[in-house]
Amino acid sequence: MGAFEYRQAQEIRDAFARHGVRYLFIGKSGAILLGYPDTTQDADLFVERSPENGRALVTALKELGFPLSAEESSEIQRGKDFVQIRSGPFDLDLVFAPDGIKRFEDAWKRRVDVEGFPVCHPDDIIRSKAAANRVKDRESLPRLRAFRDYWMSRRGPEGEKE
């Protein structure tokens, strides 16, 4: 398994758009898309939980080369809170109910578009990491919060730099 590549992010974006999947990049992968300099292994996607979106998601994942069994497809379609896939062309975490974010729709309204990639607002990324309260999150949050302030200062109040 190689590292997740820009080309694969584009493939996600394009396949999900073709099938109308509603999702957001979240976690450190989302922060990296926003410009946060750090390293990570996998792509984390916050996916809207609905029957239609679940079906579209499974179709898009299969098209991307994820070898999902009928049972695995069913679990994704149901929208279990957290799904981790390590059998596809790249490592992927699907999060249907991230800690600290009550509704997908709220995060969707606050989303940031980065070259066509829908990304959670840094405040939502921070909120979810703070709520998860893991050792690795606690260690990374001060730097991530500093990045959020930097990003906001560049973006301006109206988001004119996005």
Taking CB under 8 A as the criterion, the residue among 64, 132, 141, 152 binding other proteins is: 132
Separation in Å, CA 43 to CA 6, 51, 74, 128: 11, 23, 21, 15
**CA neighbours within 13 Å on the CB side: how many for 136?**
4
In this chain, which stretch among 14-22, 54-62, 105-113, 143-151 interacts with other proteins, using CB under 8 A? 143-151
Instruction: Please tell me whether residue 162 binds other proteins under the rule CB under 8 A.
Output: no
CA distance 22 to 4: 21
Name 7's Cβ contacts closer than 8 Å, sequence gap at least 6.
none
Instruction: Please tell me whether residue 139 binds other proteins under the rule CB under 8 A.
Output: yes
Instruction: Please tell me whether residue 143 binds other proteins under the rule CB under 8 A.
Output: yes
Taking CB under 8 A as the criterion, the residue among 21, 22, 25, 29 binding other proteins is: 29
In this chain, which stretch among 12-20, 49-57, 119-127, 135-143 interacts with other proteins, using CB under 8 A? 135-143
